[in-house]
Structure 1
């Protein structure tokens, strides 16, 4: 298997809702807008989306309610059949799979967590977590051992015999996460899993989630409508509007270079210094004379604020985590991110 091949590859994908979507898409004029399509009696749940998700990547899909983010993820797992385009999972066209193979793919490779916890109220934490393994036909001892393992992983050790009603909202969400991890999925789909939680518990769950991802290295597609959450969690963010992806990029690049007015609206209130890392502002050395201690490229401009203000060099060497200098950064560029660009007021 080619390790460079994306785990999920989505090319020119459409999902139209209406009386005869395939025939309509085949005859639809090129460049038809979302409003044009709606005027014709159809809804473009997903509109000509092309993107890849790499192995171990966390792609966060965000947008307002009705933007198409949940529809797109349901297309990834073929909970929705697409109207046009192709979706491949590990190089396999999922639209070509017979029902039996599709079910097996979902059971063996995909874990799903939704906003509503969907726990079985009359089963204990242990029984809820073991449930997908029971559906898979795994024997009682093996599924109990695996369930106990993931319960410990999500920090619920000691609560195995509790019922859902005896748990807080954050604990119930951990059970949902443990249940989806029990099957050891390669791909993890999470649809606004923390949005029902209060802000403090939500942040704790984000911390827990980042810890789990650091340990497990799953390929993750995470849906949210919260831009702060997206910035905190994502390797890349895909921002959707009217079924289409407006921009898909790293958090740094989205806040530095929003490509559309819609994306710019999301970034206006964001303190860029908390998001932008030094290595993103660095350019090639190209023979530049750089002296002195390098700036750690993995730190944000906010984390480097004191050093940037006190440093007198115009060009600052930027190093990776091993200490190897990888580029140079103009100090003024970093100060503009930190303090605001004078030209823009």
Structure 2
């Protein structure tokens, strides 16, 4: 199913939002880093027949397996990854998220569809070009760190550079810089067995960063870590993205992690994307009952911004007084309104977009904000973007 706010066609760049702003992760005219259209990965006998047969393609997982012996791990998926954004693919175990990300660099060969990176046809790449993509343009960070136990931290970080053929002195210099960037300074001569789980994951992150890839692909990288260490690593990813503007594709089954690190989230079920949107869109406007159940326990005030709670300002209200930016979270706006004792302006530069007050903010918390009924957008149209 395709919603009203789908990703742009390949090469057209991110579309402006309802207020004319370009979504996070791109500038007007930037093309997508990855552009995926109608992608399938089917496992089983004569897998290629499934995407091409509308009757088979429409079958659910159990019916398809019973009739053909095939499993559609990824089914008819379309999306763009914009430059500089953290694009999160999330879902429960077996939803197809890890298979999908492996298809992006053809670690798993797609069955059907189209896949482009920076406008180049990934499915048409020969072995040499594909090897270049994996070594230089896209680096993966896995849940299981895959460190070489007989190599020091520094040599583990430098491993990808060694594969690229860089001289030893140069790769060790770059590896040392990456160690410092991810908080491993002073640990360069230790071995993996001498590190904590969080430190080992930092080595894996530094190793991926050392090759200076265009995009980082994270496959549930922190799921094996303790909660406090996991939060530290999430902060590290957020910091790196903020400081470097690096494009990231992040796989997780954890909703709180997805909401924390993601600019946009693709929520998968049975191989397909059931909703694609910003964290705010998914929490405030779930596309169906499945998504609504997924986000039911999320504190809305910690995700939704004041845009959802605004009402038009009177001439007197818009003239002066306290002000908030449009991206202020509702939880912070509640504090501001309480402090001022009245409506607070929402300002975009010198322009007053509206005001928020106690009634509007509390309605958002309760899920009753005007125009934010489940499945609806502020203008009353259908729900947030749902990829095919």
TM-score normalised according to structure 1 size: 0.92
The answer to whether the 8 A contact 1:308-1:335 is kept is no
Rounded Cα–Cα distance in structure 1 between residues aligned with 2:86 and 2:363? 29
| CA-CA distance at 1:338 after TM superposition | 3.3
The answer to whether the 8 A contact 1:294-1:325 is kept is no
| CA-CA distance at 1:303 after TM superposition | 1.4
Check if 1:37 corresponds to 2:71.
no
Q: How does 1:1-345 map to 2 (within 5 A)?
A: 3-29=29-55, 31-40=58-67, 41-282=69-310, 290-291=318-319, 292-309=321-338, 316-320=344-348, 323-325=349-351, 327-331=353-357, 332-338=359-365, 341=368
The answer to whether the 8 A contact 2:310-2:360 is kept is no
| CA-CA distance at 1:267 after TM superposition | 0.8
Gaps of 5+ in 1: none
| CA-CA distance at 1:190 after TM superposition | 0.2
SS at match of 1:95: coil
Rounded Cα–Cα distance in structure 1 between residues aligned with 2:313 and 2:37? 37
The answer to whether the 8 A contact 2:141-2:218 is kept is yes
Rounded Cα–Cα distance in structure 2 between residues aligned with 1:327 and 1:342? 17
| CA-CA distance at 1:289 after TM superposition | 6.2
Q: Deviations over 1:284-311 (max 9, x none)?
A: 8798962333222222111121223455
CA RMSD of aligned residues (A): 2.3
TM-score normalised according to structure 2 size: 0.82
Rounded Cα–Cα distance in structure 1 between residues aligned with 2:366 and 2:50? 51
Gaps of 5+ in 2: 1-10, 14-28, 374-388
SS at match of 2:185: coil
Rounded Cα–Cα distance in structure 2 between residues aligned with 1:288 and 1:10? 49
- 236 and 281 in structure 1: CA distance in 2 versus 1, 3 angstrom threshold: farther
- 281 and 8 in structure 1: CA distance in 2 versus 1, 3 angstrom threshold: farther
Rounded Cα–Cα distance in structure 1 between residues aligned with 2:325 and 2:37? 37
The answer to whether the 8 A contact 2:88-2:262 is kept is yes
The answer to whether the 8 A contact 1:9-1:87 is kept is yes
Q: Deviations over 1:191-247 (max 9, x none)?
A: 111111001111111112211111111110001111011111110111000000010
SS at match of 2:267: strand
SS at match of 2:123: helix
